[in-house]
Structure 1
Amino acid sequence: MILGRRHPRMPKGVTARLDRRDQPLAAAELTDGSWAVVAAGALVVVGAGGVQDRHPWHEVEHGSWDGDAREFTVTWVDGRVSPLVLTTADDEVADFTAVLRERVQSSVVHTESMDTPGGAFVRVNIRRDEAGQLFSQLTAQGALRGDAAERELIDDLERRARAAVGLAT
């Protein structure tokens, strides 16, 4: 006998507020009574009043679980946007976190990275958006010098990443 994944049962009133494209692959109840839903195209936070947040997977940089606080923190590719902290109603989040990780990873098609001479780490991800279109996404950890030589290295890195998947360079 093959057992399927156990999904927490969302209240019908909450499920009814989801858009047709956002049918749950996994979900976690939050302490405020809303639900974090992993859908094929996005992370959705929905409550009795409707959708509160919706974030396509290509916007997500990273997710981390703090079991002591029962908090799942989502950080964004755009570091200027504050992380989303989801406080779960219980510790039964293994399915939720695993499926969330899989959805983020599925949006990444190809990656190239390098350390710049100034010490910053630069990564180019080729990602797929909700419509299936590929695009390049650059992130940097550490300070960039911003000079012409560094810009040329980063531009070359992006050209290589785009060429690897057949995107225009």
Structure 2
Amino acid sequence: MGWLSVVRNQAVPVPEGVVLERGERALATAVAEGTTVVITSRRLVVPGELDAGKPWHLVDGGAWDPTDSVLRVTWVDGSPAGRWHLTEPGGVPDAFHERVNASVLLVEQVRLDRSRRARVVLRKNLTTDAVLAQTIVARGCDPDDPQLVAVTEEVAARLAEQVGLEP
């Protein structure tokens, strides 16, 4: 899947009902079926679905399918995945990709064996600039597995040290 390259240097109109926080900027919007997808500097907002928006550090992954014009998003917090057919994608695919990448500082895969795997991700909250560690356990893994927890905590501490954070 590719990312559409569109450069926009103009003000982005914000749909009615979407309120930007102080210091937040609208970066791109796209018409989707029955709604609008709004990419801001701090969050993804979809009126009628994600009215308050979701901050970028909660995006686990996303994919833009230019053939079908579909943006898919999965969430770290386990919320139901988002799927939007963008009738006019504009700069949304690029802005989405850029914002997610801006929130990711470091990633390390943890693999204890074939079935016990996780990712430790050091993320930046783009609203507060706080750095946080996220452990995303692979599907089917026990998130409370003591050995997996111990190893992911060690990895998180090492990653935090790499960016100059106190353990």
Give the structure-1-normalised TM-score. Answer: 0.77
Larger Rg: 1
Tell me what 2:76 maps to: 77
Equivalent-residue separation in structure 2 for 1:17 and 1:114 (angstroms):
39
Match of 2:124 among 124, 128, 131: 128
The equivalences for 1:142-161 within 5 A come to 142-144=139-141, 146-161=144-159
Is structure 2 residue 98 aligned with structure 1 residue 102? yes
- The structure carrying a bigger helix percent of its residues is 1
Indicate how the Cα distance of structure 1 residues 166 and 6 shifts in structure 2: closer, same or farther if over 3 A, else same: closer
Unaligned segments of structure 1, at least 5 residues = none
Equivalent-residue separation in structure 2 for 1:121 and 1:38 (angstroms):
31
Tell me what 1:58 maps to: 57
Structure 1 position 15, deviation (Å): 5.1
Give the SS at the match of 2:26: coil
Indicate how the Cα distance of structure 1 residues 116 and 31 shifts in structure 2: closer, same or farther if over 3 A, else same: same
Q: Percent of counterpart pairs with the same letter?
A: 24
Q: CA RMSD in A?
A: 2.8
CA contact (8 A) 2:18 2:51 kept: no
Q: Which deviates further from its counterpart, 64-73 or 156-165?
A: 64-73
Tell me what 1:29 maps to: 31
CA contact (8 A) 1:7 1:26 kept: no
Which whole-Å deviations, capped at 9, do the CAs of 1:7-26 have from their partners, x for residues lacking one? 7974x7x2574325443211
Structure 1 position 103, deviation (Å): 0.4
Give the structure-2-normalised TM-score. Answer: 0.78
Equivalent-residue separation in structure 1 for 2:12 and 2:145 (angstroms):
54
Structure 1 position 86, deviation (Å): 1.6
Tell me what 1:38 maps to: 39
Q: Which has the higher contact order (CA 8 A, sep 6+)?
A: 2
CA contact (8 A) 1:38 1:96 kept: yes
Which whole-Å deviations, capped at 9, do the CAs of 1:33-66 have from their partners, x for residues lacking one? x32111111111247xxx7240110011111123
Tell me what 2:109 maps to: 113
